[in-house]
Structure 1
Amino acid sequence: PPSPLPLSPAGYFLSFWDYETPKVMVVKNRTLGVIYRSVQFLVITYFIWYVFISQKAYQESETRPESSVYTLMKGTAVHGDDILDTVEYARPSEGGDVISTILRREVTYDQSQGTCAEHFNVANANCTKDSDCVQGEVDFDGHGRRTGRCVQYYNHTFKTCEIQSWCPIEEYAVVREPALEEAINFTVFIRNSIHFPKFKVGNIKDASNKRDMQKYLNKCQYHEEKEPYCPNFRLGYIAHKARENFTELCRTGGVIGVFINWQCNLDIDPSNCKPTYAFRRLDLRKDQANSGYYYRFAKYYRKDGVESRTLIKAYGIRLDVIVHGHAGKFSPIPTIISTVTAMTSVGICTIICDWIMLTFIDKNEVYSDRKFDEVSKWHLQSPHPQKLLFPTEDTAPKTPHQ
């Protein structure tokens, strides 16, 4: 026969056009057969359990539902001599996917526009004479515009620069009120409407009429198993599920995410499409600069003909409602694709067993000679092509093992 092609670019180019076809060889080896069937069993089991049962790869799915959220807070609390209702502690009183409640207040009463001493913790605010204060200067961390005068800090002996602002400043005149710990029993109402447009299915709660629905909403309390549709949550329950201490939240405030997840298998009755809830603290507790939750607002009025205000710094819990959804229904197209993928993946069993056979098992050279045949035109032009192409015991070359 002609000599093999040399390892040259031309030889590589010509070998690219060779055709390879698999050849069936039965190997009478019990160990290799056990390995082959075991790997087959594992691969098939994985696809049946994980792909078809766990991931439901036979279904057509939709993961971006249309959703709307409406939140409301209910409850009454006694705070000192005052009775607080929703208008006093809920912001906003009726809201969308965000609602917050005031748990503690720091109040500065009777502020009015005028001049007063800057707080001593502000940079370059401490002074001994007027020349230490630059007129018209505004400090980023300060409370107003400097007048250029050095004045006594309220009823203290030291001096700071005078500013034009709402006086007296908050840090000097603030009154810290006790926490509203009764808020632990407040009720948060979270109504979530969801719709999967691809399947034309939305969340439903059977009720014969609106009156029955209203009665249900007024008396129910959320329970993961008994009342999964009830949208009423105790504020203390939310804090507990988020693994937060309610007393600490009253002191610093915090942001809690309410995650609503709809997992709907539409191959069964749509009424089984129930929401699951998860709660997690969103602000970073370890980052002191960004932890907690508070905001300021003011109540304005006129006192002796002068516009005045009461400044309120409110600490509280802010709830961010985040909705996710996934719906699936049987479809032949993903079923066929998943089945073909599973059948193709079974081919890895042959690759693994061939590698074991040609690497570790005795007589691997014999297996290699039987597995790989090279056929060329020279063999086809031989006077006995049948014997060359398919050697028998008489024509096959003898090996030391034989």
Structure 2
Amino acid sequence: MDMSTPFHTVIMGLRDFLKECFSGFWDYETPKVMVVKNRTLGVIYRAVQFLVITYFIWYVFISQKAYQDTETHPDSSIYTLMKGTAIHGDDILDTVEYASPSEGGDVISTLLRREFTYDQKQGTCAEYYNVQNANCTKDTDCIEGEVDFDGHGRRTGKCVQYYNQTFKTCEIQSWCPIEEHAVVREPPLVEAINFTVFIRNYIHFPKFKVLRGNIEDSLDRRRSKKYLNKCHYNEETDPYCPNFRLGYIASHARETFSELCRTGGVIGVFINWDCNLDLDPSYCKPTYSFRRLDVRKDDDNSGYYYRFAKYYSKNGMESRTLIKAYGIRLDIIVHGHCTIICDWIMLTFIDKNEVYSERKFDEVIKEPEDLIPTDLAHTELSYMGSFGSNHSDLSDGVPL
């Protein structure tokens, strides 16, 4: 048996296949659309179209807003500065005295009321009577070296008279006298209601390379400086003024300023940027809201205060004045959301001229045997009944 005959047949078949593929590669093919006047088929077709359109309009466009590209994690920079001068008794207080820090970032606090414990020295004195196990009648009630972390120091093992009182408490080694016994409370700084905090905020959307600020940049330098020195923020008249009165912040946080002077408090200043970059840049401006952040249900833990001391030397011994300061702490919190319409939707709605060939659309009302060749009518219409379209070769092509 000659093995070359099957091999020759395979080679020739492969050659014919490759030749046909190469020849067909250069052919131009375009779909031929035929319109069928059939009520049942038309109802089904329009129902499917309606479902698809409803899906895109309701879910994609309205619910998911897929036609927009968004960015919700912008970069933000905050600079704060407290302004104002107050007369408190015989003292003149400026920002160094009542603001901490006098200029800073996203957190700044202002002092509203102070409590002083003067002339404290390292030594021994009676523990505060409200500290657990501090009350005693004899020395054995006090354990030497014991430290109560809710107290003021280390116990010496002695039971001593509580200052000028008739009862006794355990003696401690600490800064004496203790704060609860010798504290001097001064009146609140009521003038602080007119203090202003300057908040400068820049926000950057790196995805779209957009930078915005809460200070209007259309003014020249001289006019801008003059405006910023005298303006106060108002949502309607001065939306680009970054100066906020403490009284304005407290009232919009639904807080009483006199109560804040008594206990202090933490207030959040929320800066929200909701920008549509398809509109004019003037529409991309921040909105502000204010809310009390610390818990007010627990009086012992609510409010805001901190302690610091001023040290000095008296008669060769180190001494200090302990100051407990109540105030308002402002936490500046920035949220940003940026949207821009997608390129594909813009390209979709660009005006363009479409050129269609009349030969691409045939209207079929019935199957007249005298107008369509028998073999073509049977083949194409049966294919239409199954799939709804047909492809055929057009030797002269169709301009697109």
> Normalized against structure 1, the TM-score is what?
0.70
Q: More deviation in 287-296 or 129-138?
A: 287-296
1:128 corresponds in structure 2 to 137
Query: How many Å separate the matches in 1 of 2:232 and 2:103?
Result: 20
Q: Cα–Cα, structure 1 residues 98 and 81, in superposed 2: closer, same or farther, change >3 Å?
A: same
2:235 corresponds in structure 1 to 224
1:219-254: CA deviations, max 9, x gaps? 221111222111100000001111111111111111
SS in structure 1 opposite 2:180?
helix
Q: Pick from 247, 250, 258 the counterpart of residue 261 of structure 2.
A: 250
1:367-378 superposed matches below 5 A: none
SS in structure 2 opposite 1:263?
strand
Report whether the alignment pairs 1:80 with 2:89: yes
CA contact (8 A) 1:187 1:234 kept: yes
Q: Cα–Cα, structure 1 residues 269 and 167, in superposed 2: closer, same or farther, change >3 Å?
A: same
Q: Pick from 114, 127, 136 the counterpart of residue 123 of structure 2.
A: 114
**TM-fit CA distance, 1:264:** 1.1
Opposite residue 235 of structure 1, the aligned amino acid is L
1:17-60: CA deviations, max 9, x gaps? xxxxxx985899xxxxxxx9xxx79x959946x97479754221
Query: How many Å separate the matches in 2 of 1:166 and 1:66?
Result: 46
**TM-fit CA distance, 1:289:** 4.1
Opposite residue 243 of structure 1, the aligned amino acid is R
1:119-268 superposed matches below 5 A: 119-204=128-213, 205-268=216-279
Query: How many Å separate the matches in 2 of 1:81 and 1:54?
Result: 63
2:318 corresponds in structure 1 to 307
CA contact (8 A) 1:253 1:293 kept: yes
Query: How many Å separate the matches in 1 of 2:64 and 2:255?
Result: 33
CA contact (8 A) 1:263 1:325 kept: yes
SS in structure 2 opposite 1:203?
strand
Measured on the aligned residues, the alpha-carbon RMSD in Å equals 3.0
CA contact (8 A) 1:57 1:335 kept: no
Query: How many Å separate the matches in 1 of 2:264 and 2:242?
Result: 23
SS in structure 2 opposite 1:140?
coil
Query: How many Å separate the matches in 2 of 1:79 and 1:168?
Result: 26
Query: How many Å separate the matches in 2 of 1:228 and 1:54?
Result: 31
Q: Pick from 264, 275, 290 the counterpart of residue 286 of structure 2.
A: 275
Opposite residue 59 of structure 1, the aligned amino acid is Q
Q: More deviation in 264-273 or 135-144?
A: 264-273
Query: How many Å separate the matches in 2 of 1:256 and 1:95?
Result: 16
Query: How many Å separate the matches in 2 of 1:140 and 1:113?
Result: 18
Higher Rg of the two aligned structures: 2
Query: How many Å separate the matches in 2 of 1:335 and 1:117?
Result: 79
Query: How many Å separate the matches in 1 of 2:243 and 2:62?
Result: 33
**TM-fit CA distance, 1:108:** 0.6
Q: Cα–Cα, structure 1 residues 290 and 156, in superposed 2: closer, same or farther, change >3 Å?
A: closer
Q: Cα–Cα, structure 1 residues 195 and 62, in superposed 2: closer, same or farther, change >3 Å?
A: same
SS in structure 1 opposite 2:247?
helix
Q: Pick from 69, 74, 80 the counterpart of residue 65 of structure 1.
A: 74
2:103 corresponds in structure 1 to 94
1:102-142: CA deviations, max 9, x gaps? 11111111101011000111111111111111110101211
Opposite residue 185 of structure 1, the aligned amino acid is N
**TM-fit CA distance, 1:203:** 1.2
SS in structure 1 opposite 2:144?
coil
SS in structure 2 opposite 1:88?
helix
Query: How many Å separate the matches in 2 of 1:44 and 1:80?
Result: 72
CA contact (8 A) 1:57 1:334 kept: no
Q: Cα–Cα, structure 1 residues 225 and 120, in superposed 2: closer, same or farther, change >3 Å?
A: same
Structure 2: 5+ residue runs without aligned partners? 1-37, 349-381, 383-400
**TM-fit CA distance, 1:62:** 1.0
SS in structure 2 opposite 1:198?
coil
Q: Cα–Cα, structure 1 residues 101 and 334, in superposed 2: closer, same or farther, change >3 Å?
A: farther
**TM-fit CA distance, 1:304:** 1.2
Give the % identical residues. 74
1:244-294: CA deviations, max 9, x gaps? 111111111111100001111111222321000010111111133431111
CA contact (8 A) 1:260 1:277 kept: yes
Opposite residue 305 of structure 1, the aligned amino acid is G
Query: How many Å separate the matches in 1 of 2:252 and 2:171?
Result: 49
Query: How many Å separate the matches in 2 of 1:149 and 1:334?
Result: 84
2:29 corresponds in structure 1 to none
SS in structure 1 opposite 2:260?
helix
> Normalized against structure 2, the TM-score is what?
0.71
1:127-178: CA deviations, max 9, x gaps? 1111111110101211000111111111112111110000000000001111
Q: Cα–Cα, structure 1 residues 170 and 259, in superposed 2: closer, same or farther, change >3 Å?
A: same
Q: More deviation in 149-158 or 50-59?
A: 50-59
